[in-house]
Structures are given as structure tokens and as C-alpha cells.
Amino acid sequence: MKRILPVLLVLLLIVSALLPVTGAATTTVGSHQNTEFSPACDRTVSVQTASSIASLKINEIAGNIPGFENWQKGDVEFSTTYYDLEGAPSAYSFDILVNGQRFGYILISATRNNYPILEFSKGFTPDKYPALMMCSSDLANSFAEKLELKPGDAKLLYLGATFYYAEFPLTDCEGIKQDSVIIDLTTPSVIDEFPTKIPVTDEFMRQQQTKQNEIKALWDALDDQMRASGPTTVAESATGTSGYVNGVPTYLWQRGCSPTASAMVLGYWDSHGYPNFPEEAPLIQELAIAMGTTTEGSTWPWDIDDSIDEVCANHGYSSMDSSDDAWMTFDEVKSEVDAQRPFVLSMWSGGTPVGGDRPYGDHSVAAAGYHDYTEDWVSVHDTWDTQIHNIVYGNWWGAMATWVRP
């Protein structure tokens, strides 16, 4: 089996180009090999270090995010080690306990090659649902029977946002491993391997270096914070900066997530010097037609920018310019928000927003803010409700920004 590199090291441009943004989670994963980004040395984070990070971070979360205040009185308890396809630890899950009662979990990276904080939620990881695990076990048994083999105990895998799997070794009658089967815990279903070669362009290399610089800076800042305050110090307010674009409307899903998110961005500009755009429903309809959005709500993400330009021109604003950016960095997010320009963020296999109970999957949202702490969050209007949500930056398999600039 070929290697799948850490999620932040490989943006699945080829795969992403073939997937429409639908608002529903994808259930397949390709395998990729690119030795240029193989780690040169062991950068594994120990469970003890991850536990200290989790203890520090739950206090920081409690002091900064509404609804998580009780985490400040909580303790972390190690729950699960997840692995990558080569058997190396990829993430650690810790339960948050308040007076002995479970109040969610936090997922810490098991390698310094990825962002330190991967996820946190009041909910459960998929492997904590007995029905899902039972169904996965049944699928592994059925698969093994066809090969006249027997499945062993599952190893839990985490390969990035929404990619929770169980790998079952398959042994013969003498107990010798002959094969394995991987089950997607969120479906559940058997995973087939779809090898994909990713072109390594100069731009790709520059972007990956930028992302690794961002990841290193976050780990360095976390190291400094741990040394300065200690893992058990209560941090009521994290240091850092925030930015937000006021006045972005919160439209609910119509015709598709991409036209709805795009309409929110244009709805903002309608009240900021470009008043010729139609009202919410007809604007979403016009964008959906321009984007070729299907009746099920799927949109090719590469069509978003040209379609926004077309709709702008229809209403006398041909000077407005939209552009796709499949290499979006967090610094660009900050720059755009600080310039008071909301944008469309399209995610492939997006993770669960902070405080949410389900992942975004393949979904477009209107991005309108950021939080720049020791981990980074993007503030979005997600088309599912009228609230502001935060998602940890990088908590997706791939993402593309569509900038909209007058």
C-alpha cells in the first residue's frame, strides 16, 4: 500500500478538481506518494507532551469561546491513539472531564509535522459510537470471509479532517497476516485505494514550505507558552489578534452551498457601495445558474470565480474581480479580512467547526473573520444556520479561497 502523507503536506489538487462541492462528506480517499515531503527526522509528540498541551488548551478555549466556559474546570483524560497508514501515531484524543462527567474531546497532533490542535468538540469521535464500530466489524468480517481469512483487532486511523478509519488485519488459519481491510467509520464502508500522482510544481513546493513554516511557528509559540505558564496554568484570555468583517448577511442554504455562500459575499458588497444586486433568493438563483449548480446542489469549485464575475457584470459591476486560490495561507485570510473583504471558502472533507456536532465535509462557506492565537481559526457563515462559526485553520483535506475584490 502506498503512503498517504500528513494532510497538511499534500493538497489534493488532482482529486479536488474532480470533486464538486456538495455540502456532504466524501467517503473515498486516494493514496499518494511524494518523497520530497517525507520527514527527515522523528518529530513524534509523546502522549505526555500532548496531555500537557491539551490541559493548557482547554483553559484557553474556555476563556475565549462562548459555550465552553465549563472546560476551565475540566481535566483531560487520555482516550485514544490514532495512527497513519504506516503505523506511526498521527493524533491523540483526550476526553474532557468536569466533575467526572464527560464534556467533549480535544484532538492533539502526534507529530510536529501537523498543526498542534486538530479538533475539539463537545461531541464524540466516530469510534466512540458502538453502532458504527459494530457495523465496521461486520463489514470487515464479510470482506475477510470472501478471502477465506479472519479479521483481527482494529487499529484506529486518523488521516485528517473527517478521515476516521479502522484497519483490520486479515490472518489465515495459522494466524499469519495475509492482508488488511480499511473501513471508513463515518459511512461505514470498505475503502478502496485510488492511487493519484500529484504534480510537484514550483508553486506547490513554495506553498508547502509556507505551510510548514506556519506549522513550525505554531509549535514554537506553543513551546514558549508551555515554558512560560506551565501546562496546568489557567489561561483566561489568550494572546493574539482577531479580525471580523461586519455586515456579511447570513443566508440559509438554497440551490447549493456555493451559490449561497457567494450570495452572502455579494450581499455584503450590495450594502457597501454596490447596490444593484438583487435580493437574497433571486441572487442565489442567478449564481446557481451561472455556476451550473446541479439540482442536488453540487457545484464545480473552479466555476465559482468566473460565475461571480458574470453575475457582477450582469448588474453593472464588471470592474469587480474574483479569483480562485487553491494555495490559500492563513496570512492571506488575515489580510483579506483586515481589508474588510469577505470571501468564499470551499473545503474538501472539512472538519467539525468549534462546538459543532458534524463535519462540514465538501462544503462552501462565506469566510468573514479570523482568530490568530497559538492555533488559528477562520470565522464563517456556513449556510446551515445564522450563527458565526469557527473552524480550526487547516482542519480540512483541501481548501480553496475565492477572493472577491472591487
Cell triple for residue 65?
Answer: 469561546
Whether residue 244 is predicted with pLDDT greater than 70 in this model: the reply is yes
124 conformational bin, left if phi > 0, alpha if psi -120 to 50, beta if neither: beta
Judge contact between 401 and 348, C-beta under 8 A. no
The CA distance from 369 to 386, in Å, is 15
Model pLDDT for residues 17-36, shown as the tens digit of each residue: 334 554 433 333 333 333 33
More confident residue, 197 or 288: 288
> Can you tell me whether residue 15 is helix, strand or coil?
helix
pLDDT reported for residue 315: 97
- Average pLDDT of the residues in 300-309: 94
Helix axes 304-314, 280-291, angle to 10 degrees: 130
- Average pLDDT of the residues in 77-89: 94
Q: How far is CA 379 from the centre of its chain?
A: 13
> Can you tell me whether residue 42 is helix, strand or coil?
coil
Sorting pLDDT into bands at 50, 70 and 90, what band is 247? very high
The whole-chain average pLDDT of the chain stands at: 83
Sorting pLDDT into bands at 50, 70 and 90, what band is 344? very high
* DSSP category for residue 116: S
* DSSP for 77-106, written as a single string: EEEEEEE-TTS-EEEEEEEEEETTEEEEEE
The two beta strands, 241-244 and 193-195, are unpaired
Judge contact between 330 and 393, C-beta under 8 A. yes
Cell triple for residue 200?
Answer: 510537484
pLDDT reported for residue 197: 44
The contacts of residue 248 (CB under 8 Å, 6+ apart) are: 264, 265, 267, 268, 342, 366, 368, 381
Sorting pLDDT into bands at 50, 70 and 90, what band is 62? confident
Candidates 352, 301, 297; CA nearest to 15 is 301
Candidates 130, 75, 133; CA nearest to 106 is 75
Cell triple for residue 268?
Answer: 455584503
pLDDT reported for residue 351: 84
Write down the residue that cell numbers 446541479 correspond to: 294
- Segment of 36-50, 224-238, 293-307, 384-398 carrying the highest mean pLDDT: 293-307
Judge contact between 171 and 177, C-beta under 8 A. yes
Element (H, E) at 284: helix 280-291
The whole-model pTM stands at: 0.66
How far lies 357's CA from each of 111, 122, 126, 298, 328, in Å? 25, 7, 11, 23, 26
More confident residue, 215 or 15: 215
Model pLDDT for residues 155-195, shown as the tens digit of each residue: 999 987 778 999 999 999 988 999 999 999 988 889 875 44
The two beta strands, 177-184 and 164-171, are antiparallel
Q: How far is CA 386 from the centre of its chain?
A: 20
Helix axes 47-64, 202-229, angle to 10 degrees: 80
pLDDT reported for residue 79: 96
Cell triple for residue 356?
Answer: 459543532
Count other C-beta atoms under 10 Å from residue 406's C-beta: 12
Whether residue 207 is predicted with pLDDT greater than 80 in this model: the reply is no
pLDDT reported for residue 240: 66
The two beta strands, 177-184 and 189-190, are antiparallel
More confident residue, 15 or 273: 273
| Percent share of the chain, pLDDT over 70 | 83
